[in-house]
Amino acid sequence: MSVNTEKNSYTVVFAVLMVIVVGSLLAFLASALKPKVDENQRFEKQQNILYAMGVNDNEGEGSVNFVPTSEVESEFSKYIKEQLVIEGSEAKEKDNAYLIDMKKQLSTIKSGGNAELPLLIGEKDGKEYYIIPLYGKGLWDAIWGFMSVDENMVVQGVFFDHKGETPGLGANINQRFFMDDFVGESIMDGNSYAGIAVAKGNGDPLNENKDDNEVDALAGATITGNGVTAMIKDALKLYKPYLETIRKK
């Protein structure tokens, strides 16, 4: 017996069945893979944090290589000494503070609520690193990252990433030639927190001048660059009270 596929009732039944089948298939897949995906995201965050404090496998000039996923957990607990949550100039210890979602915290602050601001303290070769999470927006979508500073407020390393910046243009914020420029820049201008601006045509493409609070911009990615500048400024505004307590005058 052949079915009359032209009938309205058949069409409706087919549509409903299709939605149920496809929907449950995708829901099953998503929930089955969720633990694996969460774990990947956690490892990625640990890798990014370690990268920002200079613990990585970079070889040669062009590569951005993280600590391998298999070792990242042990390396993370080896280098990260303290995980804090900042409230004003006070800091409380908190387990797994690095998992706090900055996007949520920033929107809490915007709506006037009390946010938890994570800050990590790492130690490598006897030197302390204060690692600040960053979150902002680029041209198309979110950009984020981590920045580590020492007690003189000199940047020791950064890591940037993005959700949907243009490949070959804004997407290059996660490339070595851009991120390495930040190392050695001070976030202070005299006694005020100036941040680091991504500047066009500053006549310093090799970034030899480390006192100008500027790094050379990416060609063709003005808005992403401005986003990075704003993201650093915004984070400093929030962390300033605490940073003041650790800053060597």
Binding site for another protein (CB under 8 A): 3, 5-6, 10-11, 14-15, 18-19, 22, 25-26, 29-30, 33, 36-37, 40-41, 43-44, 61-62, 163-164, 166-169, 177, 205-206, 219-220
CB of 75 to another protein, least distance (A): 17
CB of 59 to another protein, least distance (A): 13
The residue to which tokens 């650790």 are assigned: 246
CB of 119 to another protein, least distance (A): 26
Closest residue by Cα to residue 156 from 50, 46, 53:
53
Q: Residue 5 or 114: which CB sits closer to another protein?
A: 5
Residue 41 phi, psi dihedral angles, 5° rounding? -70, -35
Q: How far apart are CA 102 and CA 202, in angstroms?
A: 31
Q: How far apart are CA 199 and CA 228, in angstroms?
A: 11
- Whats the size of the chain, residue-wise? 249
Q: Residue 27 or 89: which CB sits closer to another protein?
A: 27
CB of 102 to another protein, least distance (A): 18
CB of 34 to another protein, least distance (A): 9
Closest residue by Cα to residue 118 from 87, 152, 77:
87
Segments in the chain forming alpha helices (H): 8-52, 72-79, 102-110, 176-179, 222-246
Q: Residue 25 or 81: which CB sits closer to another protein?
A: 25
Q: Residue 87 or 135: which CB sits closer to another protein?
A: 135
SS3 164: coil
Closest residue by Cα to residue 142 from 158, 163, 156:
163
Residue 202 phi, psi dihedral angles, 5° rounding? -90, 10
The residue to which tokens 């190392």 are assigned: 183
Q: Residue 26 or 152: which CB sits closer to another protein?
A: 26
CB of 18 to another protein, least distance (A): 6
Q: Residue 88 or 220: which CB sits closer to another protein?
A: 220
